[in-house]
Structure 1
Amino acid sequence: MERLDFDLSAGEEATLARLDLSEAEKDRGFSLVASTWNIEDDRLEPGVSARGPRIIDFAPVLKYDLFPFAAVVDAVLEVGTKSMGIPVEIEYAVSEDGPDLAPVFYILQIKPLIQRSDKIVIDLGALVKGECLVASDRCMGNGRIHGVRDLVFIDPESWDRSDTETIAKEIASLNESIKAEGRYYALIGPGRWGTRDRWLGVPVSFAQISNAKAIVEADLPDFSVDSSLGSHFFHNVTAMNIGYFSAAYGSTSSFVDWDALASLPVHAKTAHCVHARTGDDIDISMDGRLGHGVIRIPTLQLTPDEKSDNIIDN
């Protein structure tokens, strides 16, 4: 079932095929991961030699050690940890292309697990209106992100969930411009980032926001969806130590101050998005212990008349 006609720019699933089990069974590697349900005996039998419904449970490898998969993984993790000095994570593939069709374990990627000891304390109740762009009581990440002076945000006035595919292209273009300058940015917008359902948010690929150092998923009064926690896109984001902020509309401790964002100097603009650039570093701080996070510009202070109405008083 080799595929040689894929386009890697189409995303991380460009080389994958979604098949029914009946079709996948034609692949010679299927027997390594499947068991068969014995209806008469009411039990699972490893492999696919018997007749009956197929179940993907990896039992031939994990339980019956068809090849030493667990031992290989342990060895790779041990060598990686000793070499890098800290725990590592790996991505791998297994293919039956060794001598006599023996399984071969391929290491695709190995990288250290990020361990940051910074102890950041964020008191969401003490935040001053007009000084904070984003506050979140559901934040992932820990420490401070330095050297960011750019923000890309979707203008809530032009938000239309039917235009999310167009918005994704606009953000990709802004990302390329920022990347060409060797700069990084914080990304803010409604709904889910990286969703497959364009009605729930902006369906960007990770490559389209590759220079974002923090992403914010914000609710609007008439648009509220569950956050991206648990998605494959989300895990890619956290693995790269990109800060993740979720801001639920109506929360007393989470918000996006859209008025403050609109007051920032505009560097570039598209039909739906604004690229703002500041003269000072943006403070992106995350308390990984409590899940609190803030994005603010220390020198930003709106006048009382300019304070945003979408921040709810405690």
Structure 2
Amino acid sequence: SLLEDSQYQPLSGAYATYMLPNNASKVNVRFHQLCSAVKRVYASMFHKEAISLIESSVHSIEQEKMAIIIMELIGQSFDNRFYPTFSGTTQSFNYYPVSYMKRNEGVAFVALGLGRTVAEGEKSLRFSPKYPAILPQYYSIKATLASSQNSFYVLDLNKNTKALLNGETENLDLFDLQVAEDDKVLSWVGSVVSNEDNVLRDSLNHEGTRVITFAPILKFGLFPLADILNKFLELGQRALGCEVEIEFAVNLFKDKNKKPEFCILQIKPMVVGVSEELTHELDLTKDNVICHSTLTLGNGQFNDIINIIFVDPAKFNSAQSKIIAREIETLTAQLGTKTPYILIGPGRWGTADPWLGIPVKWQQISGAKIIVEVGLPEFPVDPSFGSHFFQNITSMRLGYFTVNHKSKKDMLDMKWLKGQKIVQELKFTQWIQTDAPLSVVINGQSGEGHILKPLPEIPAIMDEEETTGI
């Protein structure tokens, strides 16, 4: 459509997609289902979610025009279950690079089965096509078990008479990994955490918990996925003249006479970074900035945050870091999970070693929208990249600031923070509330971020020429 696929502000996933088994015995039934699906896609323009997306963008619903694409579904049949070996998306710009990755080197998300797993933000494998061996969410056996996809979507070919009865997903079924192993599909993408020694084995011949690692493909090169993605990202950028996102599906076959199939489902423009106009309108002088970092994760602008949970570095005691974590949990519970706040504190957040920072668990800071790690001489900043923390930051699209005490550009205005209203103060932790909302701006291209003080209200000046004279 004109709006969903706009090059300037695409509204990804705004409208409906229907998958039809197309296997009813009567042709007129299949034709009726197709016509009904087309009507429903058009009608999805007026769903509440689509309208709210359009209203929050620069577009208006009156501008919209749409064409319906009818595509062959990619996959294979396994006893009335239809699904590809795996599917996913790849983006030419990576908002959350780790290790020595660069933002312009791209990122990919892949999952066993149909792409709904990736599209809906469920558990999937994240990697950079430039560095397919680096899997940040699998930094330990425990993290591998927690982060691995453990179920997958298929199209149920038996639901051919009621394919559209209850919306987009009614004819999709969710199965566990055992079904994929029985279908001899799991061997392409699976590994095992062995029961014998709790070691990750890249073969299904061991007893243990099955996990999705894509090791046969990314590690042993049974299919050149990373090379293909790199090539198509390069071609896509050249063709569209901007950063791109590509959706794809892959069929791999046990029959050596059948060639593997890599299928591009969609390519669309990707909006990157904060516009120059936006950062220009927000005054970035030193007097207006609370926090500045040259190393941030995330992208965009965050508004309407008035709450800050602050661990004062002057009071911080590494021997009491577990107590500090519990204090933060207490304040988070009082704020509620739906109230966003900025979390600021020294050392490394979420570290397993309490002597390096504050060992918070994710549920203890579930309301945090922006996280700031403040470096101190005795606690040099080592960002939590690669840990379970990083996985949550990427999946929740949070803003993440690293303030390096050695950097002349990085700063945190402690004096301003300590001058704000304190709602509640515990032994080490403060709940601070500002009179007006703060603005947070993160430029995904440069990795630079600012937390801005509340903007002063400009008094309205009456124009005498426009007044009624009453």
- TM-score, normalised to structure 1, is 0.61
SS in 2 for 1:134: strand
Q: From 396, 418, 436, give the equivalent of 1:280.
A: 436
For residue 16 of structure 1, what is the aligned residue in structure 2?
none
Question: How many Å apart are 1:155 and its aligned residue?
Answer: 1.1
For residue 86 of structure 2, what is the aligned residue in structure 1?
73
What are the within-5 Å matches in structure 2 for residues 215-226 of structure 1? 215-226=371-382
Question: How many Å apart are 1:127 and its aligned residue?
Answer: 4.2
Contact 1:120-1:142 at 8 Å conserved across structures: no
SS in 2 for 1:148: strand
What CA distance in whole angstroms lies between the structure 2 residues aligned with 1:98 and 1:238? 29
What CA distance in whole angstroms lies between the structure 2 residues aligned with 1:229 and 1:158? 26
For residue 348 of structure 2, what is the aligned residue in structure 1?
192
For residue 297 of structure 1, what is the aligned residue in structure 2?
453
Contact 2:86-2:112 at 8 Å conserved across structures: yes
What are the within-5 Å matches in structure 2 for residues 170-189 of structure 1? 170-179=327-336, 182-189=338-345
Contact 2:321-2:355 at 8 Å conserved across structures: yes
1:93 aligns with 2:142: no
SS in 1 for 2:324: helix
For residue 145 of structure 1, what is the aligned residue in structure 2?
302
What CA distance in whole angstroms lies between the structure 2 residues aligned with 1:273 and 1:288? 30
Contact 1:238-1:244 at 8 Å conserved across structures: no
Q: From 314, 317, 339, give the equivalent of 1:157.
A: 314
Matched letter for residue 87 of structure 2: D
1:264 aligns with 2:277: no
What is the count of residue pairs matched by the alignment?
222
Contact 2:381-2:402 at 8 Å conserved across structures: no
Q: From 342, 349, 357, give the equivalent of 1:201.
A: 357
Give deviations 1:72-126, integer Å, cap 9, x for gaps. Answer: 3238667326995x99862512777559977797999xxxx9x754524559xx8
Matched letter for residue 149 of structure 1: I
Contact 1:196-1:203 at 8 Å conserved across structures: yes
Contact 2:312-2:429 at 8 Å conserved across structures: yes
1:135 aligns with 2:292: yes
Cα distance change on mapping 1:101 and 1:79 into 2, 3 Å: closer
Contact 2:423-2:433 at 8 Å conserved across structures: yes
What CA distance in whole angstroms lies between the structure 1 residues aligned with 2:394 and 2:301? 14
Contact 2:318-2:356 at 8 Å conserved across structures: yes
Give deviations 1:209-230, integer Å, cap 9, x for gaps. Answer: 1100000001124321322122
SS in 1 for 2:370: strand
What CA distance in whole angstroms lies between the structure 2 residues aligned with 1:99 and 1:216? 42
Question: How many Å apart are 1:232 and its aligned residue?
Answer: 2.4
What CA distance in whole angstroms lies between the structure 2 residues aligned with 1:233 and 1:153? 19
Contact 1:149-1:281 at 8 Å conserved across structures: yes
CA radius of gyration, larger in: 2
For residue 408 of structure 2, what is the aligned residue in structure 1?
252
Question: How many Å apart are 1:252 and its aligned residue?
Answer: 1.5
Matched letter for residue 150 of structure 2: A
Contact 2:274-2:442 at 8 Å conserved across structures: no
Contact 1:80-1:88 at 8 Å conserved across structures: no
What CA distance in whole angstroms lies between the structure 1 residues aligned with 2:383 and 2:405? 12
For residue 274 of structure 2, what is the aligned residue in structure 1?
119
What CA distance in whole angstroms lies between the structure 2 residues aligned with 1:260 and 1:282? 13
Contact 2:349-2:360 at 8 Å conserved across structures: yes
Give deviations 1:197-248, integer Å, cap 9, x for gaps. Answer: 1111111111111100000001124321322122221121122011000000
Give the gaps of 5 or more residues in structure 1.
1-69, 301-314
What CA distance in whole angstroms lies between the structure 2 residues aligned with 1:184 and 1:234? 19
Contact 2:350-2:389 at 8 Å conserved across structures: yes
SS in 2 for 1:235: helix
Contact 2:290-2:413 at 8 Å conserved across structures: yes
What CA distance in whole angstroms lies between the structure 2 residues aligned with 1:268 and 1:82? 41
What CA distance in whole angstroms lies between the structure 1 residues aligned with 2:117 and 2:382? 40
Question: How many Å apart are 1:158 and its aligned residue?
Answer: 0.7
Give deviations 1:231-273, integer Å, cap 9, x for gaps. Answer: 2211211220110000000312111111111111111111101
Matched letter for residue 452 of structure 2: R
State, as a whole percentage, how many aligned pairs show the same letter. 30
Contact 1:96-1:104 at 8 Å conserved across structures: no
SS in 2 for 1:251: coil
Give the gaps of 5 or more residues in structure 2.
1-82, 89-110, 125-147, 152-175, 187-209, 213-246, 248-269, 457-470
SS in 1 for 2:352: coil
After superposition, the CA RMSD in angstroms is 3.6
SS in 2 for 1:281: strand
